[in-house]
Structure 1
Amino acid sequence: MPTIKDVAKEAGVSIATVSRVVNNGPKVGDATRARVLQIMQDIGYRPNANARALVMQKEASLGVVIPELTDPFYASLASGVDTVARQHNMQLLLSTGLIEASTERAAIELLLQRRCDAMIVHSKFMSDDELTELAVATPGMVFINRYLPDIPERCIWLDNIAGGKLAARHLLVNGHTNLACITSDYSIDDPMLRLQGFKEELGEAGVSLREEAIEYGAPGQLGGELATQALLAKNIPFTGIFAYNDSMAAGVIKALHDAGLKVPQDVSVVGFDDVLLSRYVRPQLSTMRYPIERMAINAAELALSLVGGHPSELHSTNKYLPTLVKRESSSNASLS
């Protein structure tokens, strides 16, 4: 494999000059720079990213903190950051925060110890004050799926209230007035805001969501299944269910099927996120599209622009809106 010495010898320059070209340094004439770059290409020399990072006193890496690895939503988030890392020939450093403040804090600290100046953080349990303090000390830290009022320019987030309203509107337009909700039991803002939006839209239409028609569970397929079983045990009428996310919605569909109910003929089901799973459950899931991968790409680009000392002009707004994806799991109430 060609080395920097080979490039220097072929170009008739010093190793220091080649290093300046590799690191885009000053004091290199245009003609010399062009000759060195051409020789690097001709002999197939590729600079060592880690060596360059040491010279520049920073890691050639882009970090991301997500709660876990198995959830397809967070996998899409990490994939978006990885896309940007590859575009910039950077290494992706991934750290998991799990579901509590102490592990989120440890995950962030691990990336900071690796001298990872640019990072995208998904944190739901650390306080606004602590995250803001970390951001002030780390110019390239950007938060995703979190709004911090003191540093909104460093946040990329989704309007969850609007998503809840959109789900309610879809069910109402299809004639559903007896509705239920299967939501997450995690004490974070996402489920609360989605439920808030759902209730508000129903209220504006003169429809109320009874408290006994709301069931809580872990935000996965099993949680959705168990919560639906508890809802069915109450024997209250409903023709439509809004689920906190697509994984819970898949559990909802299974529980309804096991109880002898057909989707959407007996009950329409609407999820949230539009992860890959939503296209492979049967019937295919109507859901609210959460553009998490696009948001993650923009968050990573923002983090890199901040590290470079450039004011962000990447986006007109950092707030995103969900959109309805109509598939097979929801239909007109008259068909139920």
Structure 2
Amino acid sequence: MATIKDVAREAGVSIATVSRVVNNSPKAGKASIKAVRTAMKKLGYRPNVNARALVSKNSNTIGVLVSDISDPFFGALIKSVDQVAREHNKHLLIGNGYHDADSEREAIELLINSCRESLIIHAKALSAEELIGFAKEVPGLVLINRYIPEIADRCIAFDNFKGTYMATEFLINSGHQHIVYINSNHKIDDASERQAGYLQALKDYKLDCPAHYIAAADSNDQGGKSAMIELLSKNTDISAVVTYNDFMAAGALSALEESNISVPAQMSIVGFDNGLISRYVYPKLTTINYPIEMMAKQATELTLKLTKKEPYTPDTSIFSPTLVKRLSVQSI
């Protein structure tokens, strides 16, 4: 395998000159750049990214931690980050946290070693104290979908409480009084905040919420299906459902279809996220829009500004939900 010394010898320049060309230094002359790049191509030399990062303290990469890259929600997040990163000639390194503290910690440490300065972190299991510690270590660390007051200027968050309040209120205003809730069984802020919004809406409109009106399961279609079956087995009077996300709503729709319960004629349902699936299930899903693409782009702009120590004042750091009305809700 060719080394930087081999490239310098082939190009007839010093090792320092090769280093300047590799790191895009403005001190490198056009003739040197041409000679070094020709030599690199001939010898099949590929610069050591980690070594370059140690020299420049910036590997021209942005580290991104998500909970599960296979989830389309996080796919949309990553794509939006990448769009902004490419505009700034940056590349992405991606880690999975799986809502597990040890996995999140390990991934963040690996990303710090590779990226050093720019990180966009979606971490739900790690404590606020640990994340504050990482923020002190990494100049451009930005949290997405989480708010920690001590590092509020590093947070791009979403009002989950308001989202489920809005969904529940819409059903109430559509005449529904017996509304159940399907929640995620992950012990994360999103789950507790969304359930709290649902409960507050019922309380404000003086509607009851017995314990059997709430079921929790894995936050996917199978979880939504099993939770809906559980709720149907315990309740005979319900007319509407609010779900933690659109995938759980899709699973609930499947369970209702198998139980010969027509949506929305016999049961109304509201999802959460406004993901792609919400437009293709039958009936098309009324849902809460989660502007993850906008949030991800703003988080990327913020991390890049922080690493350059440039001022950046976003329009908002806590995004608000909006209701997307489709065909899965009927007034009664």
Q: Which residue of 2 aligns with 1:85?
A: 85
2:232 paired residue number:
232
| SS of structure 2 residue aligned to 1:114 | helix
Cα deviations by residue, 1:56-107 (Å, 9 ceiling, x for unpaired): 3420101100011211111111111111121111111001111210000001
CA contact (8 A) 1:84 1:301 kept: yes
- Distance apart, 1:150 and its partner CA: 0.6
Matched with 2:321 is 322
Cα distance between partner residues in 2 of 1:72 and 1:299: 19
Match of 1:23 in 2: 25
Structure 2 residue identity aligned to 1:157: A
Aligned pairs, number: 311
- Amino acid in structure 2 at the alignment position of 1:261: I
Q: CA deviation at 1:293?
A: 1.2
The CA distance in 1 between the partners of 2:147 and 2:94, in whole Å, is 22
What's 2:61 paired with? 61
Q: Which runs of 5+ in 2 are unaligned?
A: 1-6, 35-45
| 2:122 maps to 1:122 | yes
Give the equivalent residue in structure 1 for 2:272.
272
Report the CA distance between 1:118 and its aligned residue: 0.2
Q: Percent of counterpart pairs with the same letter?
A: 38
Q: Counterpart amino acid of 1:329?
A: S
Runs of 4 or more off by more than 3 Å in structure 1? 18-25, 48-55
| TM-score using structure 2 length | 0.86
Q: 1:252 to 1:113 in 2, by over 3 A?
A: same
Match of 1:246 in 2: 246
Distance in 1, Cα, partners of 2:169 & 2:275? 21
Q: Cα offset for 1:157?
A: 0.4
Deviation at 1:209, TM superposition (A): 2.1
> In the alignment, is the contact (CA less than 8 A) between 2:62 and 2:85 conserved in 1?
yes
**CA–CA distance in structure 1, aligned partners of residues 197 and 148 of structure 2:** 20
1:26-74 residue CA offsets vs partner (Å, 9 max, x unmatched): xx9xxx9xxx6xx99xxxxxxx995976763420101100011211111
1:23 and 1:52 in contact (8 A); partners too: no
Aligned residues: CA RMSD: 2.8
Q: Secondary structure at the match of 2:257?
A: helix
- Output the CA distance in 1 between the equivalents of 2:277 and 2:25: 44
**C-alpha separation in 2, matches of 1:248 and 1:81:** 26
| Residues 300-315 of structure 1 aligned to structure 2 (within 5 Å) | 300-313=300-313, 315=314
Q: 1:210 aligns to what?
A: 210
Q: Which amino acid aligns with 2:331?
A: N
Question: Deviations along 1:168-225, whole A, 9 cap, x unmatched?
Answer: 1211121111111111111111111111111112211122222211111111000000
Residue 199 of structure 1 contacts residue 208 of structure 1 at CA under 8 Å; is this kept in 2?
A: no
In structure 1, give the amino acid aligned to 2:118.
A
**Distance of 1:83 and 1:272 partners within structure 2:** 25
Q: Contact (CA 8 Å) 1:163, 1:197: kept in 2 or not?
A: yes
d(CA) in 1 for partners of 2:128, 2:55: 35
Q: CA deviation at 1:23?
A: 3.4
Cα distance between partner residues in 1 of 2:122 and 2:22? 37
